[in-house]
Amino acid sequence: MTLLKELEDRGATGLYIDGEWRESSDGSGFPVLDPSTGDPVTEVSSGSVDDALAAVAAAHEAGPAFVAMTPRERSEILRRAFEIMIDRSDAIAELIVTEMGKALPEAKAEATYAAEFFRWFSGEAVRNIGYINTAPGGDKRIIAIHQPIGVSLLITPWNFPAAMATRKIGPAIAAGCTMVLKPASDTPLTALAVAEILKEAGLPKGVLNVMPSRRSGEVVDAMLTDERVRNLSFTGSTEVGRVLLEKAAKRVIRCSMELGGNAPFVVFDDADVDDAVSGAMVAKMRNGGQSCIAANRIYVQDSVADEFIEKLSEAMAATKVGPGMEEGTTLGPVINERAVLDMVGFVEETTGNGAQVRIGGRRPERAGFFFEPTLISEVRSNDPILSTEIFGPIAPVVRFETDDEAIELANDTIYGLAAYVYSSDLARAMGAAEAIEAGMVGVNRGVMSDPAAPFGGMKQSGQGREGSHEGMMEFLETKYIAADW
């Protein structure tokens, strides 16, 4: 039996409130589509404002007992959740493919990566470390402790439906916060499966509530205006992040924002070109280019540009496009019809500006939301594609001449999430890594995500960090106790 069928049989395609599955209060629902066919696979309840407030009430009520639970107990729940998730990782991977479309090996990698956040934060839960020191005057003591912020609203995107959820739930549990998770409407199923895992792992009822909804704006507004909600952890586009920051400002809600990216991928003339091509394949093509840290602009030094373009075209041509569940598929569909149309538009506009399509460039003739792996060369450094998050399998390549020019181009964006630098001279690569305005830089590496590392952006890519010790701090307040004895 598939995990989807199991969820349906248990009523777990509804809203998860106070440890129970419920239908939406007004009986509404919405279909979840398989991107490889465009057909609905199931229907999920669509939470209303009343449901959202019931979820907030459940989280609020569960708060005191959860804070009183020992860190060790919270740690052990996370550890059990990690083990259950690893045991079921094949089934979870299939569910991810069903609603999100990525190729099965990538979905398996995501399921494991997602579970690792539970393992990592299981360790962090028992390391909520404060400090005590002597005031400079020598006569007083300064004590700092960290306490859970309280009811947290977690909002996640569709591109990594498991990992984006566990990257928030893990630290919230570790810190002792209760929460309401609103998953993306394109991919609500994986979040519901994660709720079932945590239930089985012994998470008390009301600590995690999951609220799929087609009416995102309405339900999130209602939760943000509710006095009981103290914290917002959002992952999604910069556009929506800006709107939510404004709304959160009205009640000065603490915010952690993981927003859009526009990663430069810089290849210097002394780089190992084969290595740079392998790195670019991962940085650009992982998740079909639908990653916030995807290489969005590839800058190559003129003297190695022809060789790099040739080799990257060959590597991209070897990609096998198909449904994520099909044997051998390395590139699945993009998320929906709008994303396909965006890709068509990028190719038309960029070639209209004089760039050349080296491979791909078209929507294949088949059902579902597919687009060919596409390399576009001779892109002008001011082409609009370079200032937009492509979020699909298109690699625009721009030539540059000097190192200073590369850094200037890399920083010419409102975003600052990730960047990649390839050079065989470590001093040159590290100099560039320090000069590029990004929260994360891959040096001779095309992949950088790690639950133990601080993930997050500068500029309009966000504020706050997820993963690492810093991830738990997003769910904690520092309290200073002035003591004299």
**Dihedral, CA of residue 97, residue 103, residue 105 and residue 109, to nearest 10:** -60
Residue 197 or 339: the one with the smaller Cβ distance to ligand NAD is 339
Site track 104-143 with ligand NAD (rule: CB under 6 A), x = hit: ----------------------------------------
Residue 191 or 398: the one with the smaller Cβ distance to ligand NAD is 191
Please select the residue that binds ligand NAD; options are 236, 360, 373, 446, rule is CB under 6 A.
Answer: 236
Residue 233 or 329: the one with the smaller Cβ distance to ligand NAD is 233
C-beta separation of 234 from 241 below 8 A: yes
DSSP label of 203? P
Residues in binding contact with ligand NAD, number by CB under 6 A: 27
* DSSP code per residue over 393-461: SEEEEEEE-SHHHHHHHHT-SSEESEEEEE-S-HHHHHHHHHHS--SEEEES-S----TTS-B--EETT
The answer to the question of residue 237 lying near ligand NAD (CB under 6 A) is yes
Residue 164 or 273: the one with the smaller Cβ distance to ligand NAD is 164
Closest CA to 150 of 292, 33, 253: 253
Q: Which of residues 433-472 bind ligand NAD (CB under 6 A)?
A: 457, 462
Residue 221 or 477: the one with the smaller Cβ distance to ligand NAD is 221
Residue 26 CA to residue 349 CA, distance in Å, equals: 44
How many Å from the N-terminal Cα to the C-terminal Cα in the chain? 65
Contacts of 424-430 spanning 24+ positions with Cβ under 8 A? 424/270, 424/271, 424/272, 425/268, 425/270, 428/268, 428/270, 428/403, 429/268
**Nearest distance in Å: CB 181, ligand NAD:** 9
Residue 164 or 201: the one with the smaller Cβ distance to ligand NAD is 164
Residue 41 CA to residue 411 CA, distance in Å, equals: 42
Where do the DSSP E strands lie in 166-288? Answer: 179-182, 208-210, 229-235, 254-258, 263-267
Residue 182 or 358: the one with the smaller Cβ distance to ligand NAD is 182
Backbone torsions φ then ψ of 277, nearest 5 degrees: -65, -45
Q: Please state, in angstroms and as integers, the Cα–Cα distance from residue 419 to each residue in 55, 197, 444, 445, following that order.
A: 38, 35, 11, 10
Stretch that binds ligand NAD, among 172-180, 181-189, 316-324, 394-402 (CB under 6 A): 181-189
**Nearest distance in Å: CB 418, ligand NAD:** 9
Please select the residue that binds ligand NAD; options are 148, 206, 261, 264, rule is CB under 6 A.
Answer: 261
Which residue of this chain has its Cβ atom nearest to ligand NAD in the complex? 236
Stretch that binds ligand NAD, among 118-126, 150-158, 193-201, 347-355 (CB under 6 A): 150-158
C-beta separation of 309 from 397 below 8 A: yes
Please select the residue that binds ligand NAD; options are 28, 37, 112, 185, rule is CB under 6 A.
Answer: 185
Q: Is residue 255 among the annotated active site residues?
A: no
Q: Is residue 292 among the annotated active site residues?
A: yes
Residue 322 or 462: the one with the smaller Cβ distance to ligand NAD is 462
CA 222 vs. chain centroid, Å, equals: 24
Please select the residue that binds ligand NAD; options are 16, 113, 158, 400, rule is CB under 6 A.
Answer: 158
Please select the residue that binds ligand NAD; options are 14, 101, 157, 333, rule is CB under 6 A.
Answer: 157
**Dihedral, CA of residue 406, residue 410, residue 412 and residue 416, to nearest 10:** -160
**Nearest distance in Å: CB 276, ligand NAD:** 23
The 3-state DSSP class for residue 341 equals helix
The answer to the question of residue 51 lying near ligand NAD (CB under 6 A) is no
Work out the burial of residue 338: count CB atoms within 10 Å of its CB; fewer than 13 is exposed, 13-18 middle, 19 or more buried.
exposed
Q: 400: number of CA atoms within 13 Å, CB side?
A: 22
Residue with tokens 């404060």: 130
Site track 206-235 with ligand NAD (rule: CB under 6 A), x = hit: ----------xx--x--------------x
Closest CA to 171 of 434, 381, 468: 468
The answer to the question of residue 295 lying near ligand NAD (CB under 6 A) is no
**Nearest distance in Å: CB 414, ligand NAD:** 12
**Nearest distance in Å: CB 408, ligand NAD:** 23
DSSP label of 297? E
Q: 449: number of CA atoms within 13 Å, CB side?
A: 19
Residue 4 or 165: the one with the smaller Cβ distance to ligand NAD is 165
Residue with tokens 């129970």: 20
Q: Which of residues 363-422 bind ligand NAD (CB under 6 A)?
A: 389, 417
Q: Which of residues 312-331 bind ligand NAD (CB under 6 A)?
A: none
Please, what is the Cα angle at 275 between 273 and 279, to 5 degrees?
115
Please select the residue that binds ligand NAD; options are 65, 129, 243, 414, rule is CB under 6 A.
Answer: 243
99, 124, 255, 292: which is the annotated catalytic residue?
292
DSSP lists the bridge partners of residue 131 as 144
C-beta separation of 190 from 95 below 8 A: yes
Please select the residue that binds ligand NAD; options are 259, 276, 277, 298, rule is CB under 6 A.
Answer: 259
106, 258, 372, 474: which is the annotated catalytic residue?
258
**Nearest distance in Å: CB 420, ligand NAD:** 16
Point out the residues that are catalytic. 258, 292
**Given the rule CB under 6 A, which residues bind ligand NAD?**
155-159, 164, 182, 184-185, 216-217, 220, 235-237, 240, 243-244, 258-261, 292, 389, 417, 457, 462
